[in-house]
Structure 1
Amino acid sequence: MVVDVRGLGAFQRDMTSFVYDEGGTQLWPDASLIKGVSSQLVQEGSLHTYITSESQIGQFQNVTRVKAVRVEEPRIARGSGVFTNAVLGSGAAAQFRSAGAACRVVYLKD
């Protein structure tokens, strides 16, 4: 799953990142799949990565691509000015859900 966050602000690389729909529901990582798993293990599992050019998309297989409507700060650090989460509109969220719970997220950022 490629989530395009270009042009939405200073999206930062971080060990933990989340994707939400506009209603605030967490789409990724699937909360039920990581329940009880240590955050360190989730982070080390390389569940997400970052790329900065369209040409890098080719290194991934089975790609679904969506555009985020905004980026936001971590929910535990509101006001931090560090944007690490992506928010998807309804159409993009539906595409995301159809990709399956076990997908890997690739952020396409500036």
Structure 2
Amino acid sequence: MVIDVRGLGNFQRDMTSLVYDQGGAQLWPDAALVKGVSNDLVQAGNLHTYITGEGQISSFKNVTRLKASRIQPNRLAPNSGVLTDVTLSAAATSQFRSAGKACRVVYLKD
């Protein structure tokens, strides 16, 4: 899953990053799939990565591309200027869900 966050602001790399639908429900990582799994293991699992160029997309297989509708700080620090999470539009959420629950997220950023 490649989520394009270019042009939405200063999206920053972080050990954790969450994807939400427009209503604020967490889409990724699937909360049920990571329930009871230590944060260290989730982070070490390389569930997300960052790229900065279109040419880097070809190194991934089975790619679905989406555009984030906005970026935001982590919910645990809502007033932070560190923008690490994304929200998807209704159409992008539908595409995201059709890709399956156990996908890897790749952020295409500036």
What residue in structure 2 maps to residue 39 of structure 1? 39
Total equivalences in the alignment = 110
**1:39-84 per-position Cα deviation (integer Å, ceiling 9, x unaligned):** 0000000000000000000000000000000000000011110000
1:60 maps to: 60
- Counterpart CA distance in 1 for 2:49 and 2:81 is 21
Structure 1 residues not aligned, in runs of 5+: none
Aligned-partner Cα distance in 1 for 2:106–2:96: 12
* Sequence identity percentage: 68
Alignment of 1:84-95 (within 5 A): 84-95=84-95
- How far residue 106 of structure 1 moved from its aligned partner, in angstroms, is 0.1
Corresponding letter in the other structure for 1:80: S
**Helix, strand or coil: the match of 2:55?**
helix
Ranges in structure 2 where 5+ consecutive residues have no aligned partner:
none
Runs of 4+ in 1 over 3 A off after TM superposition: none
Structure 2 length normalisation: TM-score?
0.99
Corresponding residue number in structure 1 for 2:18: 18
**Please, what is the CA RMSD of the aligned residues?**
0.3
